[in-house]
Amino acid sequence: MKPSQLSAPPATGRPALEVEGLCVDLHTPSGTVRAVDGVGFSVRRGHTLALLGESGCGKSMTALSVVGLLDPMAEVTDGSVRVSGTDVLTLGRAGRRKLAGPVLSIVFQDALAALNPVQPVGRQLAEPFRIHRGLSRRRAEEEAVELMRRVGIPEPRLRARSYPHQFSGGMRQRLLIAMAVALDPDVLIADEPTTALDVTVQAQIMRLLRDLQTERNMALVLITHDLAVVAQRADDVVVMYGGNVVETGPVAEVFARPRHPYTKGLLDSVPEHAVRGRPLPAVPGSPPELSAIPSGCVFQARCPMAREVCVRERPRQVSVGAGRTAACHFSEELDHA
């Protein structure tokens, strides 16, 4: 199947990825907990959306639901995920597999774990071309070499015969990105793609992702806990906390005038603008355990603005300006702060 048959017309059409009311339950030995609770967002081609949050906030679980790679322990219990118009949650394995590569792709954090250790990388990179485009092994491996060249691997023809452990961390991440973009997907999800890398290499990888995104007009979903990466690389941001979306909107506006106390707390606690010798304005406490999410507002226990209503009632996501939402009973107060 040609990818264009599945993809929406660019720009004016519907978003390449639409997630609505997504709920994921985790069946653990000690009971069922909700890991993702009513998450929704959409991304157009050529745009970058960041899913921002700390460990356990549900951002990776959201991504894995989209690509259909959830752990058997986890179950999508509600919501819809549409990729280029196709509802992927109702697809079977075969239908999923058709999308994986030409329409939807993911780059994982740990490149060493994501690559096959006993196969030369050229062979692995050739796989998408053989499976989806039916190319011969020789033609496919040529395409793979071309792809390696594109993602900046020196001497690609020679290196195609090397095994994953013979590459540096940065080069392995490039290989993984190459594999993900091989078939020109409409939507690329990158789950903490630079977390394990050195700073200068991180910058190179982020630049590569951005260049490929522009070149191939992909919708990019960046999953990260790094505020600065969001500030530099994303158009829109979805801030998650305890499985819930607490704030969404264009990055420039959300970071300049956060409308949820959690977003504000995160931004304030970054030492970048702090004065040495003065205490950082830290958010007290730690993120909640999934088994202990309170019934009211998810952030109530750590919130400086929390009142009685926050304990009683979970705030709904409401519009707080053009393209912006926040789930806080008192988000107006932050506007005037």
Partner 1 sequence: MPETPLPDATAADPRGGAPATARPLLDVSGVTKSFGHGRRRLTALDGVDVTLRRGETLGLVGESGCGKSTLARVVLGLERPDSGTVRFDGTDPFALKGKELLAWRRRVQMVFQDPFASLNARMSAADLIGEPWRTHRDIVPTARDRERRVRELLSLVGLRESDAYRYPNEFSGGQRQRIGIARALALGPDLIVCDEPVSALDLSVQAQVLNVLSELRERLGVSYVFISHDLSVVRYISDRVTVMYLGKVIEHGRTEDVFDRPLHPYTAALMSAAPALDVSGASNGEEIRLRGEIPSPFDIPSGCRFRTRCWKSEERCAEHAPPAVTRDGTADTGQEPHQGLCHFPLGAGTTEAGVRPRVG
Binding site for partner 1 (CB under 8 A): 54-55, 168, 170-171, 198-204, 206-207, 225-229, 231-233, 251-252, 255-256, 265-267, 269-274, 276-277, 279-284, 286-287, 302
d(CA 99, CA 115): 20
Residue closer to partner 1 by CB (options 33, 267) is 267
Residue closer to partner 1 by CB (options 276, 336) is 276
What residue type is assigned to position 10 of the chain?
P
What's the closest the beta carbon of residue 307 comes to partner 1, in angstroms?
A: 21
Q: Enumerate residues 6+ apart whose C-beta is below 8 A from 114.
A: 108, 176
What's the closest the beta carbon of residue 39 comes to partner 1, in angstroms?
A: 19
Contact call for residues 24 and 70 (beta carbons, < 8 A): yes
DSSP labels, 240-284: EETTEEEEEEEHHHHHHS--SHHHHHHHHT-GGGPPTTSPP-PPP
In DSSP terms, 224 is beta-bridged to 52
d(CA 274, CA 269): 8
What residue type is assigned to position 315 of the chain?
P
What's the closest the beta carbon of residue 229 comes to partner 1, in angstroms?
A: 5
Tokens of 43: 């991304």
Residue closer to partner 1 by CB (options 69, 228) is 228
Residue closer to partner 1 by CB (options 103, 175) is 175
Tokens of 292: 């202990």
What's the closest the beta carbon of residue 235 comes to partner 1, in angstroms?
A: 11
Residue closer to partner 1 by CB (options 24, 303) is 303
